[in-house]
């Protein structure tokens, strides 16, 4: 286990919970369209139009069935992970339409860029899942982009996969494609092989396609990451406790729906809420308030015994500079130290989700590795062996000792941060951090090895994608 921040106290969490129940029982949550209203009515929940109301007992009963840990089955069984157990699971950014290049220029993202992000996920030294939609390709039709992206995620990586909920049919396509990979729906009903983010439309509303996707995921035993992005001062109150209660209410409403559909359905409590900067009316992800909300959300999820998700590597910078690096490091530090189980946007995100950067991806991996190692506790089992210290005495040189040569590789090993003296750094090219990251991107892509896949299975996936594209157009 990692050393963690002190959680919010039980009194604070209890107050937020009581305010949450007031919101759920008096204001309700809107589920316009889709099958969600029918599910709530069948279970005896009070409704008024498209609003659903729930009390303390209904809430607690539903939340009691949420699994605290979830095996995330990867195409390569050796890369199967357990959510909610051990270090956090990391993955790259999601959804940016642009690419930030090493020279500081922006351009529309392409399918080739998306393939590069999958390759970086595949050969990362860190524990992570595939970063579905790490860049949203602008060079292919939007209606079929989810098919092209998932095909590449499933063939270029053998990691636990991600899928799409932008439209209800996209979720169905995701389930069909992972079903091909894992041999059918029977396997899916017993194993969780894909995660899909279900987004809340703050404040207190679920779009029809999102609630329908949430129901479909629960029915098929696949992981729904129920997430909100309440913006303090815009879609939620400026008052932090009130905003936490509002966000808690809307996230829990979706989790309750999943458990009504299938008790024990895997689900994650997610939030990347942040304040709005009133000068530009834009969300400010790299802010102290974002960190405070993130830590509170993880604490709330833990109080309900639900796996948690938050954001990492978040920043508002439009250049790979000190601001982007500092904000990403601070947000990553808070996300990891707070004990979040699942950290999305851990790598490669720029400018409030507007762009992805491969160089920033490498930098964020370096930051995450740094933070993870720094938070590892050391243990003292038995008496400390100081025999060597006593034997060598004052003025000893440990550099030449066999114990040093045997164990110095236990120190953290950096990939792109310079740790050389100036003359040696200059001799090796005197690379800036951005140049070092650019060099590492090229190296990682050059050594990438495509994971094996049965040619018949790959042909089935390609055939499915082609068939669906013909149907759509």
- φ/ψ bin of 34: left (φ > 0), alpha (ψ from -120 to 50), beta (otherwise): left
| Alpha-carbon gap, residue 198 to 254, rounded angstroms | 9
pLDDT for 422 equals 96
Burial of 463 (0-12, 13-18, 19+ CB in 10 A): exposed
Judge whether residue 404 has pLDDT over 90.
no
Neighbours of 426 (CB within 10 A): 11
State the residue for tokens 């604070």: 12
Judge whether residue 279 has pLDDT over 90.
no
pLDDT above 90 as % of the chain: 86
Joined tokens for residue 80: 């199967």
Judge whether residue 1 has pLDDT over 80.
no
pLDDT for 460 equals 98
Q: How far is CA 140 from CA 39, 145, 456, in A?
A: 37, 6, 26
Report, as an integer, the average pLDDT of 378-400: 90
Neighbours of 282 (CB within 10 A): 15
Please report which confidence band the pLDDT of residue 334 belongs to, taking 50, 70 and 90 as the band edges. very high
Judge whether residue 116 has pLDDT over 80.
yes
Least confident span in 41-45, 179-183, 273-277, 468-472: 273-277
Write b or e for each residue in 379-410: b if 16 or more Cβ atoms lie within 10 A of its Cβ, otherwise e: eeeeeeeeeeeeeeeeeeeeeeeeeeeeeeee
Structural domains of the chain in order of their starting residue, each with its CATH number = 1-375+397-473 (3.20.20.480)
pTM, two decimals, is 0.94
Q: With CA atoms as reference, report the closest residue to 298 among 245, 243, 253, 339.
A: 339
How far is Cα of residue 469 from the mean position of the Cα atoms in its chain? 29
pLDDT for 228 equals 95
pLDDT for 161 equals 97
- φ/ψ bin of 345: left (φ > 0), alpha (ψ from -120 to 50), beta (otherwise): left
Joined tokens for residue 185: 């729906």
Report, as an integer, the average pLDDT of 390-395: 92
pLDDT above 70 as % of the chain: 100
Please report which confidence band the pLDDT of residue 43 belongs to, taking 50, 70 and 90 as the band edges. very high
Residue 301 makes CB contacts below 8 A (sequence gap 6+) with: 269, 307, 308
Report, as an integer, the average pLDDT of 346-364: 97
Read off the pLDDT of residues 196-223 as tens digits, 9 standing for 90 and up: 999 999 999 999 999 999 999 999 999 9
| Alpha-carbon gap, residue 81 to 74, rounded angstroms | 8
**Any alpha helices (H) in 164-207, and if so which ranges?**
168-182, 185-190
Please report which confidence band the pLDDT of residue 120 belongs to, taking 50, 70 and 90 as the band edges. very high
- Mean pLDDT, the chain, as a whole number? 95
| Alpha-carbon gap, residue 416 to 432, rounded angstroms | 9
Q: If DSSP states are collapsed to H, E and C, what string results for 203-228?
A: CCECCHHHHHHHHHHHHCCCEEEEEE
Most confident region among 285-289, 396-400, 422-426 by mean pLDDT: 422-426
Report, as an integer, the average pLDDT of 4-17: 89
């Amino acid at each position: 286990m990692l050393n963690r921040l002190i959680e919010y106290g039980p009194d604070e969490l209890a107050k937020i919970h009581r305010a949450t129940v007031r919101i759920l029982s008096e204001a309700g949550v809107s589920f316009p369209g889709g099958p969600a209203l029918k599910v709530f009515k069948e279970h005896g929940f009070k409704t008024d139009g498209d609003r659903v109301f729930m009390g303390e007992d209904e809430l607690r009963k539903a939340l009691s069935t949420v699994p605290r840990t979830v095996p995330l089955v990867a195409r390569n069984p050796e890369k199967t992970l357990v959510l909610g157990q051990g270090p956090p699971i990391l993955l790259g950014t999601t959804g940016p339409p642009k690419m930030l290049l090493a020279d500081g220029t922006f351009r529309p993202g392409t399918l080739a860029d998306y393939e590069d992000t999958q390759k970086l996920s595949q050969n990362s030294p860190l524990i992570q899942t595939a970063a579905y939609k790490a860049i949203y390709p602008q060079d292919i039709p939007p209606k079929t982009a989810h098919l092209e992206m998932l095909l590449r995620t499933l063939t270029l990586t053998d990691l636990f996969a991600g899928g799409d909920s932008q439209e209800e049919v996209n979720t169905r396509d995701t389930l069909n494609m992972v079903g091909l990979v894992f041999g059918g729906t029977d396997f899916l009903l017993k194993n969780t092989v894909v995660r899909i983010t279900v987004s809340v439309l703050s404040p207190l509303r679920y779009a029809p396609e999102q609630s329908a996707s949430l129901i479909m995921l629960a029915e098929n035993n696949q992981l729904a990451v129920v997430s909100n992005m309440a913006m303090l001062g815009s879609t939620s109150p400026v008052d932090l406790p009130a905003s936490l209660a509002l966000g808690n209410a809307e996230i829990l409403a979706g989790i309750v729906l999943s458990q009504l559909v299938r008790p024990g359905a895997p689900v994650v409590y997610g939030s990347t809420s942040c304040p709005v900067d009133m000068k530009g009316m834009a969300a400010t992800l790299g802010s102290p308030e974002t960190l405070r909300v993130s830590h509170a959300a993880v604490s709330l999820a833990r109080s309900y015994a639900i796996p948690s998700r938050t954001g990492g590597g978040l920043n508002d910078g439009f250049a790979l500079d000190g601001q982007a690096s500092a904000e990403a490091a601070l947000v990553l530090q808070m996300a990891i130290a707070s004990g979040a189980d699942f950290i999305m946007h851990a790598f490669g995100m720029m400018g409030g989700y507007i762009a992805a950067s491969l160089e920033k991806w490498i930098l964020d991996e370096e930051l995450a590795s740094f933070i993870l190692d720094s938070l590892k506790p050391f243990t003292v089992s038995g008496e400390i062996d100081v025999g060597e210290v006593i034997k060598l005495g004052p003025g000893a040189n440990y550099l030449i000792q066999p114990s040093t040569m045997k164990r110095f590789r236990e120190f953290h090993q950096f990939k792109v941060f310079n740790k050389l003296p100036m003359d040696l750094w200059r001799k090796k090219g005197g690379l800036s951090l951005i140049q070092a990251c650019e060099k590492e991107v090229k190296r990682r892509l050059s050594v990438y090895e495509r994971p094996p896949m049965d040619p018949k299975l790959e042909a089935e996936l390609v055939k499915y994608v082609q068939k669906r594209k013909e149907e759509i157009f």
